[in-house]
Structure 1
Amino acid sequence: MPCGLASLGGEPLRRLLHCWVVSACVWISGAAFAQAADTGCRLQIITSYPESFYRPFVERFSSDHGRTCVTNKNTIALMRHMREGRRPVADVVWTSSPVAFAALDAEGLLDHRPELSFDPSHFGGLVVDDASGARFGFALSQIGLMWKPDGETIGPTAEVELLAQDRYRNRIGMTSPARSGTTHLFIETVLQNQGWDEGWALLSRIGSNLATVTARSFGVREGIARNRFVLGIGIDFLAKAANETQPRIAFAPLRDSAVFPASVGIARTGAENPLAVNFVEFLRSDTGQNLLLRPAIARIPVNPDLWGQVGFEPEQSAGAAFDAALAARRLPIVNALFDEMITYRYLELAEIRAGIDRLMAAPEAADDPQLRNLIAEARDRVETVPVASFMSDAAELISQLEGSDLVDLSANGEGTLRDSWSRDFSGRFSRARELIARGDARLAELTSERAP
């Protein structure tokens, strides 16, 4: 449709409006930063980082190597994008989660460049790079707690059990691990450090203290800044990165938690693009490492010469080992269980926990076996999951979860595996309410017996 200004009525007006719309779309496409679908891009990056983080790096790299395009998705969506071969086809994968890299590598979606990997001795003994060259660390991260400095007082490191204390009921914020790779690191840290059964029991108690489950990781920081809750679970750089419009947020890493390498990797589909290697090398160069020191970015560089500037001491921070391969294998199971147990039920969980705590606080609970048994069974109902430890990375469960949610898993149409877990948790929580009601009745009976 040709453009013209002959008239402002009828068909000419429609043509003019059409031209305005087309022109606006062309302008937006040309001006928007890192349009992923632009075929003129010399390098395609997919990342879970927000634009406020990646823009300085991409602008600096593009000034030397030509236009670089970025697709931004949360970690879980990023993995799905890669698995399904969606467009734009990525040359480089750039994210904080080592679990994402382990999962993508297991599926053959990453190129291997062992010649680019460095030995741990290069990083003060920390394992930063994958020896096979599937990923390369460019920054270090820690999972922990964030809060307003003028509010809580927490030491240089935090115990995860702190989050389960009654005083934090309705005062904690976090993201679902199905929406955030960093939250998944927290969940896996608890499960690996505490053990499968004890870990889920602790996560249940933490879940009963949630004020909300945010849509994205950075929503936790925003919630603290706006006084929506007191403590947030997240990653260090979200707490530390700030600008003049944002309040300062304090952060303490979890004790006995691993130091996670935030990494970059070359996608199998980018193996022939030499700029993919250039970008990896740029992030680890002096220029790239010093960009991490900007207050608005506030990351721990992998360059040991810069650790003193950010107060990082690896001998005190190395923490526990973390099995990224195990976490990658069972990621669909862990995420589904967490959502069914906590994300969708944290308000109900809080009510049940309040009832359990009320019964436990009664003096009669110490002396009456019947009341103690009711309390123990109620706790068991809300602190356990319908998957045993030895099945936590079972291939048959994973294949069912990764298949279509519309496909029934049984001939009689009882629904998907996810549906069965949802019904299981509903039944567990309903039974816990019944047990609490029986406990209240038993407590009333004991009280009346002791009345003069």
Structure 2
Amino acid sequence: MRRPGQTCVAITGLAAVLWALALLVAAAAADNAPADELRIITSYQADVVQPLQEAFERSHPGIRIRVLNKNTHAAVDEVLAGNDRRFDLFWASAPEAFAVLDKAGRLIDLGHGPHADFAWSAVGWTWRGPRDGPVPQDWNDLLDPAFAQGIAMSHPMRSGTMHSLLETILQDRGWQAGWAWILELAGQLSTISARSFGVLEGVESGDFAIGLTIDFLALTRSDRGLVFRYGRPVIIIPARIAALRGGTRPQAAAAFMDFVLSPEGQRILLRSDIRRIPVDPDIRAELAQSLHPEVRAALNFSWSRYDPELAARRYWEVKQLFEAFVARDLLLRRELWRRLRALEQALPPERARIRRLLTWMPLTEHQARSAPQDRETLLEWAERSHTILRDAEALIRRLEQPR
């Protein structure tokens, strides 16, 4: 008769053997992928990827492409964790994501440097036309009470382009003034969507009056009634593609990068269902007349360019501060802004004091970047935000009392 201890040892040994076999099968599946398979992880939807993919495969019949669509934040996390699925290329609109991966040593140079810019973009807002009522002309117009609870945006943890939009504001206005604008914008928000396309779909359906977005996402939906306006000043953001460490098809990856940057690949970006601004100046000249004048001007000046390195240095902090100070207590912050605007009888100094609280980011950039990137920091930031909101609410409640 087998003793219980012997049974346990046998089961444990069998489990170990099965686990080892599973690892071998997984490794073999990765190592024995078709020799012609190029793996791309991208934040782009099929309407951007497929035209370039199909054109590339026609000119390179020996290479087959497999694409995984994943939001930028999740894609960066996967690559930083080791790129276990051995993707060959990363392709996205948020340039700071590439700077983060480059700093971590996750990108390789196949002839274009650690990454290559292939298109330009800029951020702004969209609405469904024709619109009854006012239309925002600049960023500050979005703070007008006429748009209260009518604006939608996506979460920067789920949308690389929304992280770039926040950085556009912070880089243009500076840390404190930029956060003051973002915190006041929170009072205008109808929702924070988990998807960039959720914002556009909501504007199309009439659920939201205004949607914050990046140019090409709205411009490709102009046939559905969407109108897009660039925020001023127009700050040009490069979209990038890069080869990944751990990929298994470097020659195919280099060929695809070459194609995207070639005249043929750049010209595909001009299609009405893609609407990207090519980096190739000769190809870009073909749409010069249709480019917004401020975009043409911004392309000619270095001061109007986005700083991906700066955005990368505070990549984690900006996302987490948005979560702690905007997303976490959105309903309360929005309600306090509504109540503040209703205090018509309050004296200007009293209203100004409450406004200062509602637009106050209590952490400097240095303090935020010096904090440990751990759960305790996130809880501390959330508590600081909530404390400020409680203080503002106490002041509002006192002023709401009959005098």
Q: How does 1:160-171 map to 2 (within 5 A)?
A: 160-171=139-150
Pick closer, same or farther for the CA change 1:112–1:392 going to 2, 3 Å: farther
Asked whether the equivalents of residues 375 and 435 of structure 1 are also in contact (C-alpha less than 8 Å), the reply is no
Tell me what 1:428 maps to. Answer: 388
Instruction: State the distance in 1 between where 2:229 and 2:31 align.
Output: 39
1:251 to 2:228 alignment:
yes
8 Å CA contact 1:141–1:261 kept in 2: the answer is yes
Counterpart selection for 2:116 from 123, 133, 136: 136
Query: Which position in structure 2 is the counterpart of 1:42?
Result: 37
Equivalent in 257, 260, 265 of residue 288 of structure 1: 265
The residue aligned with 1:68 is: 65
1:385 positional shift: 2.6
Distance 1:38 1:334, change over 3 A: farther
The aligned residue for residue 121 of structure 1 is none
Please report how far the alpha carbon of residue 439 of structure 1 lies from its aligned counterpart in structure 2 after TM superposition: 1.7
Check whether the contact 1:200–1:383 (CA below 8 A) recurs between aligned residues: yes
The answer for the alignment partner of 1:57 in structure 2 is 52
Are 1:316 and 2:297 counterparts?
yes
* Alignment partner, residue 4 of structure 2: none
Q: For the residues of structure 2 that align with 1:51 and 1:38, how far apart are their CA atoms?
A: 26
Paired-residue identity, %? 31
The 1-side partners of 2:259 and 2:39 are apart by: 15
- Give ranges in structure 1 of 5+ residues lacking alignment: 1-35, 117-132, 367-371, 406-415, 446-452
Specify the code of the residue in structure 1 equivalent to 2:124: G
Alpha-carbon shift at residue 358 of structure 1 (Å): 2.1
Structure 1 counterpart of 2:50, which letter?
R
By relative contact order (CA 8 Å, sep 6+), the higher-ranking structure is: 2
Question: Contact between 2:243 and 2:250, CA under 8 Å: does it hold in 1?
Answer: no
1:379 and 2:355 matched: yes
2: distance between equivalents of 1:67 and 1:37? 16
Equivalent runs, 1:117-156 vs 2, <5 Å: 133-151=113-131
User: Normalising by the residue count of structure 2, what TM-score does the alignment of the two structures yield?
Assistant: 0.84
CA displacement at 1:308 relative to structure 2: 4.3
Structure 1 residue 296: Cα displacement: 1.6
For residues 43-442 of structure 1, what are the structure 2 equivalents within 5 Å?
Answer: 43-63=38-58, 64=60, 65-113=62-110, 115-116=111-112, 133-151=113-131, 158-242=137-221, 247-270=224-247, 273-310=250-287, 311-312=290-291, 315-318=296-299, 320-359=304-343, 361-362=344-345, 365-366=347-348, 372=349, 374-394=350-370, 396-397=371-372, 400-401=373-374, 405=375, 416-441=376-401
C-alpha displacement of 1:258 = 1.6
Q: Secondary structure at the match of 1:392?
A: helix
| Partner of residue 6, structure 1 | none
Which digits, 9 at most, give the CA deviation of each residue in 1:254-292, with x for residues without a partner? 112321111111112238611111111100112211221
What is the RMSD computed on CA atoms of the aligned residues?
Answer: 2.4
The Cα of 1:96 is off from its aligned counterpart by 0.5
**C-alpha distance in 1 between matches for 2:114 and 2:400:** 57
Q: Which moved more, 1:173-182 or 1:47-56?
A: 47-56
Using a 3 Å threshold, how does the CA distance of structure 1 residues 253 and 57 change in structure 2: closer, same or farther? Answer: same
Q: Runs in 1 of length 4+ with deviation above 3 angstroms?
A: 152-155
**What CA distance in whole angstroms lies between the structure 1 residues aligned with 2:63 and 2:141?**
49
Q: What secondary structure does 2:304 align onto? A: coil
Distance 1:242 1:198 in 2: 33
Distance verdict in 2 for CA 1:199–1:383, change over 3 Å: same
Q: How far off is 1:317 after superposition?
A: 2.8
Counterpart AA for 2:379:
D
Q: Which runs of 5+ in 2 are unaligned?
A: 1-29
In the alignment of these two chains, the number of paired residues is: 365
Query: Cα distance 1:136–1:225, how it changes in 2: closer, same or farther (>3 A)?
Result: same
Q: How far did 1:203 drift?
A: 0.6
Distance of 2:132 and 2:377 partners within structure 1: 41
